[in-house]
Amino acid sequence: MPNIKVLDMAGNAVSDIELSDAVFGVKPSKAAMHTMVVNYLANQRQGTQSTLTRTEVRGGGRKPWRQKGTGHARQGSIRAPQWTHGGIALGPKPRSYRFTVNKKVKRLAMKSALSTKVLDNNLIVIDSIALADYKTKDMVAMLSAVGAAGSKALIVMPEADAKVIKSTANIPGVKTALVNTINVYDILSYDKFVVAKAAVEKIQEVYA
């Protein structure tokens, strides 16, 4: 089983934690992770784009000229797609881009993403993430102490803490998340995975 050091907010090693092989030690599946990233991005799409067809564009009710004898190509409406200001042929209409992914693939993708962080030495476990006051400076100091300064970092907590969330909100490239809201896209998007020890235990409880 992977075994890594648990740090405090000052960057000092206070203990070790044994990670579950079933969660943090699997062979990463690129296919499963790719599927979940595509799924996440597709589900974020609003799908509200819309173009007007020839039946929806204003005007064009009258035939512009008679069928024969003018020397022009025959035309039925000045709002046909080939005309300027005409309708759009085969244009996008509002639709949902959502699709579902098999549960087994979801679990494999999550385990693969977590295992990737361990393999790349980008998993940082903190004994406890808590602040006495709303201080961005304290969060910057913590990230610097644990070796996550200057990198995109995802901070994962076991439960919501307003002081931590608000103190982190205006640090560029840093995002906070709860253990029950993390997803494969975010884990892979951020360089450092900074997670509270209690959150690690919850992750292992769910995915082991």
pLDDT of 4 reads 87
Give the Å distances, CA to CA, from 9 to 23, 122, 174, 193: 25, 17, 16, 15
Q: How confident is the prediction along the chain (208 residues), in pLDDT tens digits per residue? A: 568 899 999 889 899 899 999 999 999 999 999 999 999 999 999 999 999 999 999 998 899 999 999 999 999 999 999 999 999 999 999 999 999 999 999 999 999 999 999 999 999 999 999 998 999 999 999 999 998 888 899 999 999 999 999 999 999 999 999 999 999 999 999 999 999 999 999 999 998 7
At the fourth CATH level, which superfamily is domain 3-45+98-207?
Ribosomal protein L4/L1 (3.40.1370.10)
**Interacting residues of 44 by C-beta distance below 8 A, sequence separation 6+:** none
- Domain borders along the chain are 3-45+98-207, 47-96
